[in-house]
Amino acid sequence: MYWVRREMHTMFSAWESLAQLLLAFTLGAVIGIERELHGRPAGLRTHILLSLGAALFGMVSRGMGAPNVDPTRIAAQVVTGIGFIGAGTIIHMGGTVRGLTTAASIWTTSAVGLAVGLDRRYWMMAILATVLVFLTLTLVHLLENALKLKRRVRDIEIVTREGVAVMDVVLQKLLDMRIEVQSIRSLPTLLPGTRRYELSLELPSQALSVQALSALAQCEHVLEVKWD
């Protein structure tokens, strides 16, 4: 009888472990799909593996019930390790920093996987967190774009010849058109002898955007002008 109960307990534990890993897989995929659709370096596979790995670490730490073993140490090391992975997705390009949102999604995905692996009581919490993360990455992105259009803020990319003070002419042209320049960022370029800049402009009217594009394209030593 004892042997039967032990076998049933082992079988139940195996099915529970499988359910935990499948849930972690699914939740990581939900977050990773959004990142994959936007072409981010850490996409579907990365988020699935992060969620599965964090869940597995949580399951292992939960199973270490020895008297002199602190199971929370493994979870703490997972948080530290994910920080290094997230830092690897952050790219500093000239005056801009890209990848912060992806790094944050990686960090949150690991927390979701860890919650799934630690205890069944946290499964619903992990599911709700995944839903909120997905909504944040999709709906809030749309809200940001709507607010940006309402403020008539446009990002413009300019490629100029290197060694020529073209930006002075560009800024004066924008000043004459009463266009406020919110920020200027220097971006790396693959073409030798050129410089690339990204300008955030606040336009007084939507119709002025085409005029500004045409005026900047006609500036001497400006090779290329692109809107976002």
Q: Are residues 128 and 158 in the same domain?
A: no
Q: Are residues 165 and 190 in the same domain?
A: yes
Q: Are residues 94 and 14 in the same domain?
A: yes
Q: What confidence score (pLDDT) does residue 3 get?
A: 47
Of the candidates 112, 146, 180, which is a domain's last residue? 146
The CATH number of residue 202's host domain is 3.30.70.260
Instruction: Tally the domains of the chain.
Output: 2
What's the predicted TM-score (pTM) here? 0.58
**Structural domain boundaries enclosing 188:** 151-227
Q: Are residues 107 and 171 in the same domain?
A: no
Q: Are residues 96 and 127 in the same domain?
A: yes
DSSP code, position 7: H
Q: What confidence score (pLDDT) does residue 2 get?
A: 44
pLDDT by position in tens, the chain (length 228):
544 455 444 544 777 788 888 988 998 898 888 777 776 767 788 888 888 888 888 888 776 665 566 666 777 777 777 777 766 666 544 444 566 777 888 888 888 988 888 888 888 999 999 999 888 888 876 776 666 555 566 777 888 887 777 778 888 887 887 777 777 777 777 778 888 888 887 776 655 667 777 777 777 778 787 775
Q: What confidence score (pLDDT) does residue 128 get?
A: 93
Q: What confidence score (pLDDT) does residue 93 get?
A: 45
Q: Are residues 137 and 216 in the same domain?
A: no
Q: Are residues 115 and 45 in the same domain?
A: yes
Of the candidates 85, 117, 146, which is a domain's last residue? 146
Q: Are residues 185 and 219 in the same domain?
A: yes
Reading the block at residue 182, the tokens are 């919110």
Of the candidates 146, 176, 192, which is a domain's last residue? 146
Q: Are residues 97 and 172 in the same domain?
A: no
